[in-house]
Structure 1
Amino acid sequence: MKPLTESKSTSTNLKEILKSYPLTSFFVMAYLFSWTVLIPFILSQWNIIPKTKIFDVFFTLNAFVGPMVAAYIMIWTLEGKEAWKVFRKGIWKFKVGLKWYFFALIVIPTVIYLGFVIFNGGIPTFNGLTTQFYATYPIYLVIVFFGGGPFPEEIGWRGFALPRMQSKFGALKATLLLGILWAIWHLPHFLTAAQRGGPGSNISLLYYNLPIFIVLCLATSIILTWVFNSKQGNLFIVMLVHASLNMFGLIQPYLTNPALKETDLPVSLGLGLCALIILIFTNGNLGYKQSSPEVELGN
């Protein structure tokens, strides 16, 4: 058994590391926690352990125990318990204006649909979409918001990391770097059906699907950074935009053109056009205004 003084010394040293390298520490924890909890899900996908629905919970948990828990640890360590309480309450700021709800719920699906129109060379058709699906759309949206990634992920990516990265690198560089790091965080997903991987998949995942997915993450990051900066760091609307984007994944299987189901290229195309427009109209600064006074945020 280790002496109490040695345990305290180890804890103190760990805190000093976290404080000295907050961004590096956050991303290391986000990756480590998420990738570890995904192992049972990946093993079940490859039939190394029984493939049962119970292992699907580990896929949902990977966003919660990764970026969200990492953000919780870092905020608590850097600023204390009360800072986390303030941060948590700040998530639920619903008064963002109707135009932002319109952007999240109408514009985002529209630009994604435009990407499918362009990729398809005309209006795509759907098979099996019923009025029941549209009637239950709000319910699905809530489920995706909390369980599909937007809520736990954005606490970490845009809640903790982005403000510190923007202060260090500026808006555009921070956004592109975060987009790449976000894409890397998803790498284990390519071993599963979530990114068209798993048994029967081939090397095209790496030379075709992965580059397209990276472009998708970069375009999405530009859009989310602009929303975040435009609403003075409002995480709720960022999460809602993220959820609205993810919702198209529920509609994509109903497309009659098989080519539209097998790639993220149409989504990347639509969101890429939206991101390009944002870059042009914001002169590349994505609505960022340097906070004052300057805070030393570390690496």
Structure 2
Amino acid sequence: MTISSARPEAGGRPGLLARRPLTSFFVMAYAFSWLVWSPWVLGEDGAGLLPTRIDPALIGYLNAAAILAGPTVAGLVMARVTGGRAGVRALLARLVLWRVGVQWYVVALVGVPLIMLVGTTIWAGAGPTSGALGGPSYLLTYVVTFVLVTVLGGPLFEEIGWRGFALPRMQSSLGALGASVVLGVLWALWHLPQFLVPSWAASSGGGGVSGILLFTLTAITFTVVITWLFNHTRASLLIAVLVHSSIDTFSITLGALFPPDVLASAMPFMIGFGAVALVLVAVTRGRLGYAGRQE
């Protein structure tokens, strides 16, 4: 089916994609990403389903390609289906929606790392290792890592789909809290193929059913916080990308500040973001700043 055939003909019935935009988006996002991820799952370091080795550099390319092929392509396709070229332009315009108030940048770039630091400290029962970051030069390293993570690690391209296309439509039918819970679950389960790779599972809070469950609950808390920021910044995708990037980048920093066993579980993030999410839900009565249709 071509994109144009999914749109309503003159006086006719909309195509399947247009009739079920959210279902179509998630099916495409999962299918495209899982298909691209499959070589990694089948053979990374001989630990996958087949005893073949994949070059570590190729793993990075597969990961980036899976993100681009999944939520990015699915989001852009569905924006085109539901809104034509204007729909695609409107979605992409929110990537550069930067006039949102300096306080939201502070929350995204400083507040999010502080939440992670406090949660990890509580879980570890001790403070971070002093001097582990190597002095003032760390700031430059952090900025460079932040940019690389944003562009290559997922935040920029994932958010085009999750918060760019899906969240506004989910909020209009489920409300802010309901949309955050459902999107958090679907966002987490999108990662399922990666849990078949031991090295990825170990770096994401552990594998097995308990690890996946905790990862999913943590993704819901992430989503509640991102939704709150998203709704207070006129649906700015830029802020959503910055929050996502802060989470991913500061996770690397925490690995230098705390012993490896502390971050072997997603509990540090669950503690920090879980507490913040509960406060936001209570204070906003579940609305999370949502004031109406955004798509």
- Structure 1 residue aligned with 2:281: 279
Identity %: 35
Moved more, 80-89 or 280-289: 80-89
* Letter paired with 2:27: V
Whole-angstrom CA distance in 2 between matches of 1:13 and 1:102:
42
Q: Which runs of 5+ in 1 are unaligned?
A: 1-6
- Structure 1 residue aligned with 2:153: 148
Moved more, 124-133 or 89-98: 124-133
Superposed, which structure 2 residues align to 1:50-69 within 5 Å? Answer: 50-52=53-55, 53-69=57-73
2:126 is aligned, of 122, 129, 135, to 122
- Structure 2 residue aligned with 1:40: 39
Relative to the length of structure 1, the TM-score reads: 0.87
Whole-angstrom CA distance in 1 between matches of 2:152 and 2:15:
33
- Structure 2 residue aligned with 1:181: 186
* Letter paired with 2:256: Y
Superposed, which structure 2 residues align to 1:13-28 within 5 Å? Answer: 16-28=15-27
2:217 is aligned, of 211, 215, 218, to 215
The structural deviation recorded for 1:86 is 2.9
Any conservation in 1 of the 2:29–2:70 contact (CA below 8 Å)?
yes
Superposed, which structure 2 residues align to 1:1-299 within 5 Å? Answer: 12=5, 16-47=15-46, 48-52=51-55, 53-125=57-129, 128-131=132-135, 132-192=137-197, 193-196=199-202, 205-291=207-293
- Structure 1 residue aligned with 2:11: none
Moved more, 44-53 or 265-274: 44-53
Whole-angstrom CA distance in 2 between matches of 1:13 and 1:27:
16
SS at match of 1:170: helix
Whole-angstrom CA distance in 1 between matches of 2:5 and 2:42:
37
Kindly provide the CA deviation profile for residues 67-119 of structure 1, in whole angstroms up to 9, marking residues without a partner as x.
Answer: 01001111111111232123212311222221111101111101111111111
SS at match of 1:143: helix
Whole-angstrom CA distance in 2 between matches of 1:206 and 1:260:
18
- State the Cα RMSD in Å: 2.4
SS at match of 2:96: coil
* Letter paired with 2:189: I
Distance 1:80 1:11, change over 3 A: closer
- Hey, which bits of structure 1, 4+ residues long, moved more than 3 A? 10-15
Whole-angstrom CA distance in 1 between matches of 2:43 and 2:208:
21
Whole-angstrom CA distance in 1 between matches of 2:27 and 2:284:
32
Moved more, 157-166 or 14-23: 14-23
SS at match of 1:142: helix
